[in-house]
Structure 1
Amino acid sequence: MISLEAFKRDYSGYLLNDNCNFEVEFLKFHARNVDCNRMYECLSVQKKPTSGSYTLKIDRLSNRHEPGICSDIFDIGGYTWKLDVYHDGAKTKKCLDVYLKLAKTSKLSVKLEVYANVSLCLQDKVELSQVKFTADKKRFGYEDPWRWEFPLVKFEDPSKGFLLKNACVIEVSIVVLGSSTLH
Structure 2
Amino acid sequence: MEGMVGVKIPPGEDQAEITRSMRDLPPAHYTFKIENFSLLSNSKVDNIESGDFEVGSYKWRLCLHPNGNKKSNGDGHISLYLAFSKANAPPIGWEVNVDFKLFVYNQTQDKYLTIQDANGRVRRFHGMKTKLGFDQLLPLTLFNDESKGYLIDDCCIFGAEIFVIKHTSKGECLSLMKQPVNGRFTWRIPNFSALQQIFCKSEEFSAGGHKWALVVYPKGNSTVKGKSLSIYLFLEDREVFSSGRTMYAEFTLRVRNQLFGQYVEKKANCHFSNSIKNWGHLEFMSLDELNTPAKGFLVNNTVEVEAEIHFMTVVKELSGGGPIIGVKT
TM-score normalised to the size of structure 1? 0.66
Q: How many residues align?
A: 139
In structure 2, C-alpha distance between the alignment counterparts of 1:143 and 1:104, rounded to whole Å: 14
For the residue of structure 2 that corresponds to 1:155, the secondary structure is: helix
Q: Give yes or no for the alignment of 1:50 onto 2:185.
A: no
**Superposition deviation, residue 175 in structure 1:** 2.6
In structure 2, C-alpha distance between the alignment counterparts of 1:49 and 1:162, rounded to whole Å: 26
Cα pair 1:101 1:140 within 8 Å, conserved: no
- Which residue pairs with 1:76 in the alignment? 207
For the residue of structure 1 that corresponds to 2:305, the secondary structure is: strand
From 289, 294, 303, the counterpart of 1:168: 303
The residue correspondences of 1:73-112 to structure 2 (distance < 5 A) are 73-91=204-222, 92-93=224-225, 94-105=227-238, 107-109=239-241, 111-112=244-245
- Could you tell me the percent identity over the aligned residues? 26
Cα pair 1:113 1:179 within 8 Å, conserved: no
**Superposition deviation, residue 143 in structure 1:** 3.5
**Superposition deviation, residue 146 in structure 1:** 1.6
Q: Closer, same or farther in 2 for the Cα pair 1:48/1:166, shift >3 Å? A: closer
Show CA shifts across 1:100-152 (max 9, x none). Answer: 121154x24251321122011110011111112113x5322233222222211
From 63, 69, 74, the counterpart of 2:194: 63
Q: Give yes or no for the alignment of 1:139 onto 2:274.
A: no
For the residue of structure 1 that corresponds to 2:298, the secondary structure is: coil
Cα pair 2:256 2:264 within 8 Å, conserved: yes
**Superposition deviation, residue 45 in structure 1:** 3.7
In structure 1, C-alpha distance between the alignment counterparts of 2:175 and 2:240, rounded to whole Å: 18
In structure 2, C-alpha distance between the alignment counterparts of 1:163 and 1:109, rounded to whole Å: 37
**Structure with the larger RCO, 1 or 2 (CA within 8 Å, 6+ apart):** 1
Cα pair 1:44 1:178 within 8 Å, conserved: yes
- Which residue pairs with 1:16 in the alignment? none
For the residue of structure 1 that corresponds to 2:184, the secondary structure is: strand
Letter in 2 for 1:122: V
In structure 1, C-alpha distance between the alignment counterparts of 2:234 and 2:274, rounded to whole Å: 8
In structure 2, C-alpha distance between the alignment counterparts of 1:128 and 1:142, rounded to whole Å: 37
For the residue of structure 2 that corresponds to 1:50, the secondary structure is: coil
Q: CA RMSD in A?
A: 2.4
Q: Closer, same or farther in 2 for the Cα pair 1:74/1:143, shift >3 Å? A: farther
For the residue of structure 1 that corresponds to 2:233, the secondary structure is: strand
In structure 2, C-alpha distance between the alignment counterparts of 1:96 and 1:47, rounded to whole Å: 30
Letter in 2 for 1:138: C
- Which residue pairs with 1:159 in the alignment? 294
Q: Unmatched 5+ residue regions in structure 1? A: 1-41
Larger radius of gyration: 2
TM-score normalised to the size of structure 2? 0.39
- Which residue pairs with 1:116 in the alignment? 249
Show CA shifts across 1:42-66 (max 9, x none). Answer: 7824266624111110000122222
